Structure 1
Amino acid sequence: MPKLKREGREERATDFVESLDRGLRLLQGFAASREPMTLSDLARSAELPRATARRILFTLERGGYVASDGKLFTLTPHILTLAASYLRSSQLATVLQPVLDRVATGAQEISSLAVLDRDEVVFIARASPTRVFSGGIDIGYRLPAFCTSVGRAMLGQFGDDELANRLRAMPRQAMTPQTVTDPDRVLASIIRDRAQGYSLVDREAEPHFRSISVPVRRYDNVIIAAINIGAHVDRISTKEMIERFLPLLREGAGSVRSQLL
């Protein structure tokens, strides 16, 4: 019987639950469109047979995660309970939220917390000096890691050879005219950022927007997240980001290291 190694322990290949894997793939398939989707659309998006997709959708509908008018399918608000479970159980979000509040107040700008998820960054907490979010990055928002300041701050945890391989393998689509997509240039930027302890990305991820980030390290110095401050290029210069925002971010990230396990 073949075995799989996961997290330092051996598991039999039969421990893999294919039906659960297919259900998760189908849920992710809803991201392919902002409109209600047909059974065929979802089956195609999840790369599943129609009959399999139909059974999964029926199960999800019974559980309250999916709604249907008989032809089109949509996710229901109940699906957010899955994300809420992560946020409520996340030590990072709990420990870092007061830090984000303090940083946002000191900078008078929105501050965010992100984690690395394969080739992307996911924002899991944020704070505003006014506690009113007028726009920008929301919790759960995703961006490519290679062209964001939080992504580059976290990618610095990998050795040069592994990092070079990851960059060449990941999609590197230009997000703006300023996006650097050449893997060698991105690698050089991340190595430089690692040495200086912060990353500043100027209009590469979003037009007219620049961001500065520092890595968040746990008690043993391992990078597990990044916090940032972003602002419109017309309001904040790169010089001001480094001189005024960087000390706030460094103090905030350093203040919680002993609390993160």
Structure 2
Amino acid sequence: MTRMHALTSDTPEDVRPGDAYVQSFARGLSVIRAFNARRAAMTLTEVADVSGLTRAGARRILLTLVQLGYMTNEGRLFRLTPRILELGFAYLTSMPFWDLAEPIMESLAAEVHESCSATVLDDVDIVYVLRIPTGKIMSINLGIGSRLPAYCSAMGRVLLAGLPDEQIDAVLKRSDLRAHTPLTLVDPVQLKQAILDVRKQGWSLVNQELETGLVAISVPILDRNGRTVAALNLSGQAHRITADQMRERLLPPLLAAADRINALMKRV
């Protein structure tokens, strides 16, 4: 599968430097974003190749990150340190949703015995911000910071359904619409209609479009103004639960959990 990774993503193609653009800062971020689950340790040359920087430029940034404690080097290899999590946790702690949602998600996962997750939209991807796993259900490891394409995931379609129509069109245009399985919708017109259907019914069910054997159902989390700020999801393996069974058995408790979170969100 593609575009399934943690801690890093490609820079959107429509981002262009302007008068306020700080190139040195952007280069530092490109070095951090070069590391992910597949590239946990790299040499200077590898970092330069992945980030698109010169060896000299990459070296200065790497050594700066080492000095600041965000990177460590062992011989020729550089690795991120746990301190890098401070950058992500600054976002998590700034949003009241996570503290409110986690105990409700834990109760939901225990009730239905399926993995429960919450994500937010970041350009063409969804990013995991909370996850209560009950077992490994995908071929990759998912955790906080993991990214998946929005167009073919249940949570992604819920989040896209919360956007104005023109923004949905823009996201689909920027997305790398590829078939991850024989069931993946890749036609922009069909995808747009599927997203509009989600908006109308208030939930999304995706049956083995992201990965063969994976079935997922998702509903929106709303702020006090009724704006979709996150997606709540239950996922399972198709050999244990069919799409119809998921809708019949899991949608009611999922909606109830979302209602509880939404009620709390109105108070913050």
What's the TM-score once normalised by structure 2's chain length? Answer: 0.84
Is the CA contact 1:163–1:187 (under 8 Å) kept in the aligned structure 2?
yes
Moved more, 144-153 or 24-33: 24-33
Shift of 1:242: 1.3
Counterpart code for 2:224: Y
Shift of 1:170: 1.4
Shift of 1:73: 1.6
For residues 19-53 of structure 1, give each alpha carbon's deviation from its aligned partner in whole angstroms, at most 9, with x where no partner exists: 22211111001238435222222122212222211
Match of 1:72 in 2: 77
Does the alignment pair 1:61 with 2:66?
A: yes
**What is the rounded CA distance, in whole Å, between the counterparts of 2:104 and 2:163 in structure 1?**
26
**What is the rounded CA distance, in whole Å, between the counterparts of 1:123 and 1:66 in structure 2?**
23
Moved over 6 A (4+): none
Structure possessing the higher radius of gyration over alpha carbons: 1
Does the alignment pair 1:185 with 2:190?
A: yes
RMSD (Å), alpha carbons: 2.0
For residues 143-168 of structure 1, give each alpha carbon's deviation from its aligned partner in whole angstroms, at most 9, with x where no partner exists: 10000000000100123333123212
Does the alignment pair 1:115 with 2:115?
A: no
Match of 1:231 in 2: 236
Change (3 A) 1:167 1:124: same
Does the alignment pair 1:217 with 2:222?
A: yes
**What is the rounded CA distance, in whole Å, between the counterparts of 1:35 and 1:27 in structure 2?**
11
Query: What SS does the aligned partner of 1:252 have?
Result: helix
What's the TM-score once normalised by structure 1's chain length? Answer: 0.86
Aligned residues: 245
**What is the rounded CA distance, in whole Å, between the counterparts of 1:233 and 1:124 in structure 2?**
24
Q: How do residues 240-259 of structure 1 correspond to structure 2 at under 5 angstroms?
A: 240-259=245-264
Match of 1:145 in 2: 150
**What is the rounded CA distance, in whole Å, between the counterparts of 1:22 and 1:121 in structure 2?**
24
Counterpart code for 1:218: D
For residues 222-252 of structure 1, give each alpha carbon's deviation from its aligned partner in whole angstroms, at most 9, with x where no partner exists: 0000001111001112222112211112122
Shift of 1:77: 2.6
Higher RCO, 1 vs 2 (CA within 8 Å, ≥6 residues apart)? 2
Structure 1: gaps spanning 5 or more residues: 1-12
Is the CA contact 1:104–1:127 (under 8 Å) kept in the aligned structure 2?
yes
Is the CA contact 2:118–2:128 (under 8 Å) kept in the aligned structure 1?
yes
Moved more, 73-82 or 243-252: 73-82
Match of 1:126 in 2: 131
Is the CA contact 1:32–1:45 (under 8 Å) kept in the aligned structure 2?
no
Shift of 1:15: 4.9
Shift of 1:114: 0.8
Change (3 A) 1:209 1:54: same
Match of 2:42 in 1: 37
Query: What SS does the aligned partner of 1:25 have?
Result: helix
Counterpart code for 2:29: L
Q: How do residues 161-180 of structure 1 correspond to structure 2 at under 5 angstroms?
A: 161-180=166-185
Counterpart code for 2:242: S
Identical aligned pairs, as a percentage?
A: 36
Match of 2:25 among 20, 27, 48: 20
